[in-house]
């Protein structure tokens, strides 16, 4: 009988193999407690002890490489994979987290009629230190009210969310995620838990999600960081042009970035402001693109707050013009035009506010 799967058999084989790998790791972690050593513990382990290197030619390495590049579209030819690692799960705490993940998956399965809805998903890290912190301590609240991940067949958004480190190297984490029953959640939401007990996680679209959202209270029980892909993208040029070609340049003054940070600092936690300054600095140093910075700011602050802040600022700046009959732009397009466009002018203004307030360069 032919398979009735809705996706190609090769794709099914990839995730079946990774599932077998995960089960093997669980068995190894359980064996290590009793003093036996599993096959995976015999692989070469990196000096930081959190990662095991997967070599070229290794089945899992090649499957992940194929899957990752296959989901990048136009930039796949501009992407160089530098290394692929597996979570070593080498200490008792890491082993406990992995076993806890499987316990929660079983619990969700019982609650949701036998379907825990476990998926693979990509997470764009803030850099090498972020990866190390996640593997050693789990996800922290520095990641916001919810953890945003991309479906396994669409890594591009998470790639853009990655913050580049030295020499432009980025690190993407492939996670196993317990989605359970999903509900639609807006991208700028401040929601930090399910709307009711009927749901376990959030998505932007039920039938064809581009984003998975795991609430902060569940990000260390419903997400398991399994693999890390280190890579470098030479250019996002083709992608950015296709995404931004519909955006017109602004025809009136826009909010200077330091002023935006000053206003946001009155309503956002200091940790969020520090992150915004960090990403702004990374953009100035050429480590991330303008588009990546914008997406990071939108992810941290939310479009609703940004639109309100920009609208208030512009109303004050353009008040004299209104008196002479000059109307403000339609603010319903700020999420598409305004938030993208004010960065075009930031090189023309004094950006010392970040440095004075947080000890970082603007």
Per-residue pLDDT tens digits for 136-161: 989 876 666 788 999 999 999 999 88
Contact 86, 60 (CB under 8 A): yes
Instruction: State the architecture of 9-235 in CATH terms.
Output: Alpha-Beta Complex (3.90)
Give the pLDDT score at 194: 87
Residues of the chain with pLDDT under 70: 1-48, 141-144, 187-190, 237-255, 314-362
Where do the CATH 3.90.228.10 domains begin and end in the chain? 9-235
Give the pLDDT score at 322: 45
DSSP state of 107: H
Contact 173, 133 (CB under 8 A): no
78 vs 73: CA distance, rounded Å: 10
Give the pLDDT score at 144: 66
Give the pLDDT score at 321: 44
Contact 162, 124 (CB under 8 A): yes
Strands 201-203 and 182-184: parallel
- What pTM, to 2 d.p., does this model score? 0.60
């Amino acid at each position: 009988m032919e398979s009735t799967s809705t996706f190609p058999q090769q794709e099914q084989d990839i995730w079946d193999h990774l599932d077998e790998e995960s089960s093997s790791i669980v068995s190894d972690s359980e064996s290590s407690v009793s003093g036996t050593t599993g096959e995976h513990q015999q692989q070469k382990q990196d000096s930081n002890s959190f990662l095991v290197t997967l070599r070229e030619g290794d089945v899992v390495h090649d499957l992940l490489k194929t899957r990752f590049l296959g989901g990048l579209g136009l930039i796949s030819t501009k992407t160089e994979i530098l290394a692929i690692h597996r979570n070593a799960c080498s200490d008792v705490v890491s082993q406990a987290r992995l076993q806890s993940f499987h316990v929660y998956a079983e619990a969700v399965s019982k609650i949701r009629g036998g379907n825990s809805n476990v998926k693979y998903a990509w997470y764009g890290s803030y850099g090498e230190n972020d990866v190390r912190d996640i593997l050693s301590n789990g996800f922290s609240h520095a990641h916001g009210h919810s953890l945003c991940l991309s479906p396994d067949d669409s890594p591009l958004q998470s790639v853009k969310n990655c913050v580049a480190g030295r020499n432009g190297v980025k690190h993407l984490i492939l996670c196993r995620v317990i989605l359970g029953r999903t509900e639609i959640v807006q991208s700028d939401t401040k929601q930090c838990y399910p709307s009711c007990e009927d749901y376990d996680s959030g998505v932007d679209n039920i039938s064809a999600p581009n984003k998975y959202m795991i609430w902060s209270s569940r990000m260390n029980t419903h997400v398991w960081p399994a693999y890390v892909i280190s890579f470098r993208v030479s250019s996002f040029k083709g992608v950015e042009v296709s995404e931004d070609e519909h955006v017109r340049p602004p025809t009136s003054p826009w909010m200077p970035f330091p002023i935006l940070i000053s206003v946001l600092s009155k309503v956002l936690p200091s940790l969020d402001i520090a992150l915004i300054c960090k990403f702004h600095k990374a953009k100035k140093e050429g480590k991330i693109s303008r588009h990546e910075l914008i997406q990071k700011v939108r992810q941290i602050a939310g479009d609703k707050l940004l639109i309100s802040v920009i609208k208030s600022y512009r109303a004050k700046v353009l008040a004299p013009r209104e008196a002479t009959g000059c109307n403000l732009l339609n603010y319903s397009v700020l999420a598409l035009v305004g938030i993208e466009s004010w960065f075009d002018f930031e090189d023309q203004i004094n950006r010392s506010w970040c440095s004075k307030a947080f000890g970082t360069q603007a």
